[in-house]
Structure 1
Amino acid sequence: MVADLAAIVLAAGRGTRMRSSLPKVLHTLSGRTILERVLANLEALAIERCYVVVGYGGEQIEAHLGSQSQVHFVEQAEQRGTGHAVQQVLPYLAGFGGQVLILNGDAPLLRPETLRALVEVQRASGAEATILTARLADPTGYGRVFLGDDGCVQRVVEHRDCSDFERRNPLINAGIYCYSWPHLAAVLPDLRPENDQAELYLPDTLALLAQVRAFEVGDAQEVFGINDRVQLAEAGRILNERTLARLMRAGVTIVDPASVTIDETVEVAPDAVIEPQSHLRGRTRVAAGCRIGPGSLLEDAVIEAGAEIFYSIVRGSQVGPGTSVGPYAHLRAASEVGAHCRIGNFVEIKNTTVGAHTNAAHLSYLGDASVGERVNFGGGTVIANYDGRDKHRTEIADGVGTGANSVLVAPLKLGPGVYVAAGSTVTEDVAAGMVIARPRQQVKPDWQPRWQRDT
C-alpha cells in the first residue's frame, strides 16, 4: 500500500442523459458497474485512501459498494461543480502530505498502467499538479491544453471559450489529475463561480498553481467518458475488443470475434474454443479444451475441461469434464452436472446434481433432484417437483433408467438400478426392480365411434 497516495472519485452527478432512475455510475459494463471498474483500476495502484464523492443516488451507490472497506464515501449534497466536489474532501485529508489522484466515476476505460504512469510523472517532476491529456481527431466539446516550450501547462481553455484558431488544437484535458495535495488544498478555497453555470470548476485551480505538467495518454480511447446509453454501448464494445484480444493472445480460439461478447470478469483457459454467437458473462470460468457455441450463453457458469456447450444456456451452474450440453438445453439455479454426461435436446435442469456418465438426451425436465451415476432418462421424462405450493426433492440412485414419457412425482426416491416403464407416473418410492405405473392396455376390436354406430 502506498502511504503517500490517495484518490478521489467524482460520482455525484445524476447523469440525466442516461434517462434512468439508476445513478449513471451503477450501469453495468462488461460484468461490472462503471464505478466498480474505475475502483478496480485504482486497486491495482495500492492506494492508501480512496474517497468517492456521491450526491444523486448516493444511498444506492453506498449500498452497492458497501462491502469495499477501502472506499470512504463523502456526500456532495448540492452539486456545484467538480471543484466544489473536491472541496468536500478537505476535512478528510487534513494533514495529508502526499499526492492525490482525481478522476471521474464515469471514465471506466482507463488502464491501471496509465494511472500509474501519471503518478510517476507527477512525483518525478516535482510539479504541483500533472494533468492527463489526449489527442483527439475530433476534440469538440473538450477543454484544450496549451503547453510551453518546457512542456509545462500554460493554460487550459474550455471549448466554448476557444478562438477558432485555438479550437484547431487537438490536445485536450481528459479530466484526470494528479495533484500535490497540500498545494491543491491551499488553493481550493480560492475558487470562484465565475462561469455561466455558477459552479466551481476544478480545472480553474491549475491557473493558481506555479507549475503544472502534462502527461499524454498513448491510447485516446482510455479517456472516453460515458454520458448516455450510446456511449455506454460504445464503451462496452471497446472493452469487449480488449478482452477478446487478450484471450486470443493467451491461447483461446475465438472463431468470429465480431459476434462474441465476453465480460472482462470471465476466465477462459488456453485451447478453449469459442464459436460464433456465444456470450460469456459474470464470473464464468471455462477450462482448457472446452468448446462453447455456436449460439450459447454462459452466465456465472463453471465449465470443466473438455466439455461442450452448443446452442444452450448455462446460468449459475457447473458442467463436468467431457460433458456435452445441447442443443437447446438450459441449466440453471446451481445445478451441477458430472463428468462425461450427455444433456441433450430441449432438456432443462434446475437445482439438481447429476452424477457422472448420466444421459438425458431429449425433452426432459429435472428439477430439485439428486441424480446418481449412469442414470438414463428416456425422452420426455419429467420430474414433477411442484405441488402448487411447495417444491419437493427427488432422489435417484445410480443406474436408474426411465422409459419415454415417465413422470416422477416428488417427493420420491428410486433405489439403485430401478427401471421405470415407459409412460409411467410414479408417486411412491421404489427400492428395487421395475415399476409399471400406467393403465393396462385394452383392445376393443369391434369398437366404433357413436356417430358411426347411429347410422
Structure 2
Amino acid sequence: MQAVVLAAGEGTRIRPLSASLPKPMLPVADRPLAAHAADAAVSAGADELILVVGYEAETVREYFGEEYAGVPVTYAVQREQAGTADAVRAAREHLDGEFAVLNGDNLYDPAGVERLFEAGPSVGAHRVEDPTSYGVLSTAGDSVTDITEKPAEPQTDLANTGAYVFPAEAREWLDVPASERGEREITDVLARTVREHEVTAVEIDRWLDVGRPWELLEANEWKLAALDRAVRGSVHEDADLRGAVVVEEGAAVDSGVVVEGPALIRSGASVGPNAYVRGATLVGEDATVGHGVEIKNSVLMAGATVGHLSYVGDSVLGRDVNFGAGTTVANLRHDDAPVKITVKGERVSTGRRKFGVVVGDDAKTGINVALDAGTILSPRVGIVPGETVTRDR
C-alpha cells in the first residue's frame, strides 16, 4: 500500500521554531517528526512513501532522499497551503489503488497504524477528555457513521487522528470545495467515503498532534522514554550516567558530568565538565552544554550552546542558539498556575505547571541574562548582558 505523508506545512502555531524549518522536520529524539510517521507507515507495510512537500521542501528531500527505510520515496509539491485534501490532491498522479494518509506532524502508536492498514477503508480514532477541540467520529459498532468538526455537544469521545486508509476511487474525490476557513479538508473526502463504503474506526492507543512548542517537548518526552541505554561516544571515567542514556558516536561527556536518563546526546555534542543533565532531554547534534550548566527536560536543537553556569529547564532552544554564561531560565510561575505562551498573537495556556522558554534559531543572550517562564525569543534576537526578559522579544 502507498502511504501519503503530509509534510508541506510551515507550522505557524509553533513559531519561531518553524521560521526556517518545516514543522514536520523539527527534532523528536533521534529523527525529525515526519520520520516517526514514515517509520510507522513502513512498519505497517507501506511499499512506497509519497511525501507531500511545500514550505522549505528541500530540507525534507535532503533527509528522506529517494529511498527511506528500504522503501522508495516519491515527492509531490503542494504549491499553496490550501488544506489537507489539497495536499493529498497534489499526490494524486502518483496514487494507484488503495492508499493511506498520515499527518507528518503527528506521532502515532505504530501498532495502531498497523491495525489501520489491515482494516481497509478506515480512520484512526483516539479517545480524548475534551472532544470539542477535535473532529469527532460517530460510530455504530466499529463503523463510522459521521464526522463533526469541533462539536459543542460531542456524541462520542473519539477524536479523528488524521490517519486514514482510503479506497482507490477516493483518488477522484479530492476536488472538494473550500471550507468556511478557506481550506479544502480531507474530512470532506472521508465523509464521502463513509457514504459509499463501510469505514472502520480504528482506535490508536497513543497519539499526539504536535502543533505548539510545548507539544514538541511532549513529543520528545514520549520518544525519549523509549530509549535503551547505549554509550558509543567518549565518556570521561569520572562522569556518571544513570538510567536510559544514549551517547552517540562522536559525542563527548566530560568529567564531573551527571546525566539522568532518559537523555539523548547526539553526535558532535559536548557536555561538561561538571554539568547536570536530567529529565527527558535531547542534546542535539553539535550542541554544547558548558561547565557547571544544568539542563532539565529540554530540547537543544543542532548547534545550540548553553554557556557555563547557566540553567535551562522545560525549554526548547532552536538551532545555533547561544546562551551566554550565567543565563537563567525560569520555568515556574509564582502563583503555581500553568505557564502561558503566545501562539499566533494570543496568550495560551500550555497546561504545564513547569515550562520555560522557546528560542528561535541563532538567538543570543549575553552573560547573566534572566528569562521569565513563557518567554519567546525570535530568531537572531540578541539580549544584552544582565537583562531580565519578561516579555516576548
Give secondary structure in 2 for the equivalent of 1:47: coil
TM-score w.r.t. structure 1 length? 0.51
| Aligned amino acid, residue 13 of structure 1 | G
Q: Closer, same or farther in 2 for the Cα pair 1:7/1:233, shift >3 Å? A: same
3-state SS, counterpart of residue 85 of structure 2:
helix
Q: 1:65: Cα distance to partner?
A: 2.4
Query: How many Å apart are 1:116 and its aligned residue?
Result: 1.2
Superposition pairs for residues 32-111 of structure 1, below 5 Å? 32-66=31-65, 68=67, 70-93=72-95, 96-97=96-97, 99-107=98-106, 109-111=107-109
* 1:119-175, Cα deviation, whole Å (9 max, x unpaired): 1122xxxxxx20111111122310111112x5321110000xx2x43x263111111
Tell me the equivalent position of 1:9: 5
In 2, Cα distance between the equivalents of 1:157 and 1:225? 18
Look at both structures and tell me which one has the larger radius of gyration over its CA atoms.
1
Separation of aligned partners in 1, 2:93 and 2:77: 12
**Residue-by-residue CA offset, 1:204-226 (whole Å, 9 max, x unaligned):** 1122231242334352xx32111
Is the 1:152–1:211 Cα contact (8 Å) retained in structure 2?
no
How far apart are 1:55 and its partner, in Å?
1.0
1:155 corresponds to: 146
Q: 3-state SS of the aligned residue for 1:177?
A: strand
Answering whether residue 216 of structure 2 is matched by residue 232 of structure 1, we say: yes
Change (3 A) 1:284 1:175: farther
Aligned counterpart, 1:172: 159
CA contact (8 A) 1:10 1:103 kept: yes
> What RMSD, in angstroms, separates the aligned Cα atoms of the two structures?
3.7
Give the Cα separation in 2 of the matches to 1:151 and 1:36: 29
RCO comparison, higher one (Cα < 8 Å, 6+): 2
**Partner residue, 1:300:** 267
Give the distance between the partners of 1:90 and 1:186, measured in 2 at CA. Answer: 8
Per-residue CA distance 1:243-286 (angstroms, 9 max, x = gap): 3xxx4xxxx6xxxxxxxxx99x99xxxxxx9427x85355689x
Structure 1 gaps of 5+ residues are 123-128, 253-261, 267-272, 286-291, 302-308, 317-326, 329-455
Rounded Cα–Cα distance in structure 2 between residues aligned with 1:36 and 1:30 = 11
| Inter-partner Cα distance in structure 2 for 1:315 and 1:14 | 21
Cα contact 2:108–2:204 (8 A) shared by 1 = no
Match of 2:81, SS state, is coil
- Offset from partner CA, 1:276-303 (integer Å, 9 cap, x none): 7x85355689xxxxxx9634885439xx
The amino acid that maps onto 2:12 is T
After superposition, residues 279-428 of structure 1 pair within 5 angstroms as: 279-282=245-248, 294-295=258-259, 298-300=265-267
TM-score w.r.t. the length of structure 2 is 0.58
2:128 equivalent in structure 1: 136
TM-superposed CA distance for 1:88, in Å, is 1.3
Cα distance in 1, alignment partners of residues 284 and 50 from structure 2: 35
Count of aligned residue pairs for this structure pair: 261
- Corresponding position of 1:452: none
Distance 1:113 1:274 in 2: 31
Write the deviation string for residues 83-138 of structure 1: whole angstroms up to 9, x where unpaired.
Answer: 11111111112xx23x211010001x31332211111122xxxxxx2011111112
| Partner residue of 1:203 out of 187, 197, 218 | 187
Does structure 1 retain, via aligned residues, the 8 Å contact 2:45–2:114? no
CA distance in 2, matches of 1:315, 1:233: 14
Aligned to 1:145: 137
Letter in 1 for 2:184: L
Amino acid at match of 1:38: A
- The equivalent residue for 2:242 is 275
SS at match of 2:211: coil
Q: Which amino acid aligns with 1:81?
A: G
Question: Secondary structure in 2 aligned to 1:51?
Answer: strand
* Cα deviations by residue, 1:396-434 (Å, 9 ceiling, x for unpaired): xxxxxxxxxxxxxxxxxxxxxxxxxxxxxxxxxxxxxxx
Q: Distance in 2 between matches of 1:34 and 1:90?
A: 24
What amino acid is the match of 1:17?
R
Supply the distance in 2 between the matched residues of 1:25 and 1:73 (Cα, whole angstroms): 15
**Distance of aligned partners of 1:207 and 1:68 in 2 relative to their CA distance in 1, 3 Å threshold:** same
Q: Deviations over 1:327-375 (max 9, x none)?
A: 99xxxxxxxxxxxxxxxxxxxxxxxxxxxxxxxxxxxxxxxxxxxxxxx
Which one of 8, 14, 20 corresponds to residue 18 of structure 1? Answer: 14
